[in-house]
């Protein structure tokens, strides 16, 4: 680089850099995020520090001793608890329950004897204390800092021998070193950096709360996710009291785990038996016409789901098709396959499809259960209540294999299902404690279902 390197302007949100200051970032579309960056001084050859290399086998790899939050689902999603010196970021829509979850976790850790600092830039200490007492987690070792100055808040870490701190939220507090209002990209980045550095130097775990925008992105700079060790998302459907916790990035564990909570009067309660959520358990051998079971995968977690279809004679020239839980286009495509390949006429019926419990399935493995449920509704013939259907259905009416069949079969067996209908091309599934029937085509699968 030449001596007269120009000043560059860097977007605080996405890192795009340019030589002219502009109002709107041409890369990420955010406004007012550019800041001037002085070119870094070039070190002379002689002063350049030599690269420090280490022998990989000589590096100490004792796993860090983790701090358990006391909430089993949270600890599992974190990969086995909180890591001292590590920072996790939990993102979610306003009102989903982030503050509730972390106050519960903080309270439980504090009641175990470890001092916990809860920094809230959003609520007053009276509000947080009231919530803590309602959740039954108010304890002597749970310390609150309600205010907007993060540096001031973090100065309590060493004085009070804090063993875990929570920052609620990165958008609501201010880093004094940086100009701008709380919540602007530069501020959010500075706040997160301050919190991450404080956690690392104090050797305590930190959890930061981040709000997300309407399109599901964490509000603030995109760099935010790179600054922390773990990124969790907390989500839920508007009408349901269930909440899902997932890791989208985890330097200390895998990202396959799913944690499920139910929001109750007394706070968030872990749901251990997840499949029960989406399955109206019927003990009888048969169920109502139009009901078929399947096992969907949510990340790595198998969930039993009940596909329900209702067919009613239509009074309209264009029959109605509605679908909740499976994409409408997919449902319409499967209706056409059923009509063409299995000869079951759908034309004169309004068709309504629903996945019980509000589960939304993207996985094509639910195709077969959808088709069988449709056929059962149209023929008004009930299916066996203890049988599940696992397969993708192609346009030729063929039944195709699904991913991780063994995991799904084990889950079905665990919840008391007796039989599974799968693709004839499936290799495994022999010894999973459930009778497995194979079908190459939709017609064969319908025959096995007694339709």
Residue ranges that bind ligand TYD, judged by CB under 6 A: 92, 94-100, 131, 134-135, 263, 265-267
Half-sphere exposure of 36 (CA within 13 A, CB side): 4
User: Token pair of 278, please?
Assistant: 């989406």
The distance between the two most distant Cα atoms of the chain, rounded to a whole number of Å, is 87
Phi, psi at 411, each rounded to 5°: -65, -40
Helix segments in 292-400, DSSP class H: 328-342, 367-379
CB of 135 to Mg ion, least distance (A): 13
What gap in Å lies between CA 228 and CA 86, rounded to an integer? 8
Contact partner, 97, from Mg ion, ligand TYD, none, Cβ < 5-8 Å per class: ligand TYD
By CB under 5 A, name the binding residues for Mg ion. Answer: 99
Closer residue to Mg ion, CB minimum distance, 216 or 416: 216
CB of 210 to Mg ion, least distance (A): 11
What gap in Å lies between CA 384 and CA 296, rounded to an integer? 19
What gap in Å lies between CA 411 and CA 368, rounded to an integer? 18
Among 380, 379, 315, 378, which residue's Cα sits nearest to residue 351? 378
Contact partner, 83, from Mg ion, ligand TYD, none, Cβ < 5-8 Å per class: none
Helix axes 98-111, 125-135, angle to 10 degrees: 70
CB of 99 to ligand TYD, least distance (A): 3
Contact partner, 400, from ligand TYD, Mg ion, none, Cβ < 5-8 Å per class: none
Among 175, 170, 116, 126, which residue's Cα sits nearest to residue 146? 126
Closer residue to ligand TYD, CB minimum distance, 266 or 282: 266
H-helix or E-strand spanning residue 405:
helix 405-414
CB of 362 to ligand TYD, least distance (A): 25
- Give the chain's length: 451
DSSP 427: -
Closer residue to ligand TYD, CB minimum distance, 268 or 388: 268
CB of 131 to Mg ion, least distance (A): 10
Contact partner, 96, from Mg ion, ligand TYD, none, Cβ < 5-8 Å per class: ligand TYD
Contact partner, 216, from Mg ion, ligand TYD, none, Cβ < 5-8 Å per class: none
Closer residue to ligand TYD, CB minimum distance, 265 or 272: 265
Contact partner, 174, from ligand TYD, Mg ion, none, Cβ < 5-8 Å per class: none
Contact partner, 100, from ligand TYD, Mg ion, none, Cβ < 5-8 Å per class: ligand TYD
Closer residue to ligand TYD, CB minimum distance, 264 or 427: 264
CB of 194 to ligand TYD, least distance (A): 21
CB of 233 to ligand TYD, least distance (A): 12
What gap in Å lies between CA 229 and CA 250, rounded to an integer? 6
Closer residue to ligand TYD, CB minimum distance, 94 or 203: 94
User: Token pair of 291, please?
Assistant: 């009901």
Among 204, 187, 243, which residue's Cα sits nearest to residue 86? 204
Closer residue to ligand TYD, CB minimum distance, 170 or 371: 170
CB of 266 to ligand TYD, least distance (A): 6
Closer residue to ligand TYD, CB minimum distance, 96 or 297: 96
CB of 56 to ligand TYD, least distance (A): 41
- Tokens 């993207």 belong to residue: 362
Closer residue to ligand TYD, CB minimum distance, 134 or 324: 134
H-helix or E-strand spanning residue 447:
helix 442-448
211 close to 91: Cβ distance less than 8 angstroms? yes
Contact partner, 271, from ligand TYD, Mg ion, none, Cβ < 5-8 Å per class: none
CB atoms within 10 A of CB 413: 16
Distances (CA, A) of 391 to 258, 279, 341, 360, 369: 23, 19, 16, 17, 8
């Amino acid at each position: 680089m030449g001596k007269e390197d120009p000043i560059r302007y860097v977007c605080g949100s996405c890192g795009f850099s340019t030589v002219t200051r502009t109002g709107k970032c041409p890369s990420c579309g955010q406004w007012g995020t550019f800041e001037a960056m002085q070119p870094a001084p070039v070190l002379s050859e002689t002063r350049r520090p030599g690269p420090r290399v280490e022998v990989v086998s000589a590096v100490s790899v004792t796993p860090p001793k983790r701090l358990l939050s006391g909430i089993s689902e949270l600890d599992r999603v974190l990969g086995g608890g909180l890591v001292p010196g590590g920072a996790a970021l939990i993102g979610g829509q306003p009102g989903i329950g982030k503050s509730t979850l972390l106050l519960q976790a903080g309270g439980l850790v504090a009641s175990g004897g470890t001092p916990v600092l809860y920094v809230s830039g959003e609520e007053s200490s009276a509000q947080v204390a009231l919530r803590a007492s309602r959740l039954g987690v108010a304890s002597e070792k749970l310390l609150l800092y309600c205010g907007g100055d993060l540096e001031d808040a973090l100065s309590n870490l060493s004085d009070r021998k804090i063993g875990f701190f929570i920052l609620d939220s990165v958008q609501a507090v201010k880093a004094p070193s940086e100009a701008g209002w709380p919540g602007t990209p530069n501020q959010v980045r500075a706040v997160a950096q301050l919190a991450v550095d404080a956690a690392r130097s104090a050797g305590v775990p930190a959890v930061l709360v981040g709000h997300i925008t309407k399109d599901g992105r964490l509000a603030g700079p995109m760099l935010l996710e790179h600054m922390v060790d773990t990124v969790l998302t907390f989500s839920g459907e508007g009408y349901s009291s269930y909440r899902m916790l997932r890791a989208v990035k985890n330097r200390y564990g895998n990202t396959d785990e799913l944690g499920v909570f139910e929001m109750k009067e007394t706070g968030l309660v872990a749901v251990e038996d997840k499949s029960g959520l989406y399955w109206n358990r019927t003990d009888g051998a048969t169920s109502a016409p139009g009901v078929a079971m399947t096992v969907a995968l949510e990340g790595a977690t198998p969930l039993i789901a009940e596909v329900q279809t209702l067919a009613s004679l239509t009074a309209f020239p264009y029959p109605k098709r509605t679908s909740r839980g499976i994409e409408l286009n997919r449902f319409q495509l499967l209706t056409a396959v059923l009509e063409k390949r299995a000869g079951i006429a759908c034309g004169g019926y309004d068709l309504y499809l629903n996945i019980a419990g509000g589960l939304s399935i993207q996985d094509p493995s639910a195709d077969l259960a959808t088709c069988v449920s449709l056929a059962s509704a149209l023929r008004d013939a009930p299916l066996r209540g203890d049988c599940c259907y696992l397969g993708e259905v192609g346009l030729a009416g063929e039944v195709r294999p699904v991913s991780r069949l063994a995991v799904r079969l084990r889950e079905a067996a665990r919840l008391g299902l007796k039989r599974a209908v799968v693709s004839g091309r499936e290799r495994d599934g022999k010894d999973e404690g459930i009778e497995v029937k194979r079908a190459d085509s939709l017609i064969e699968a319908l025959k096995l279902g007694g339709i």
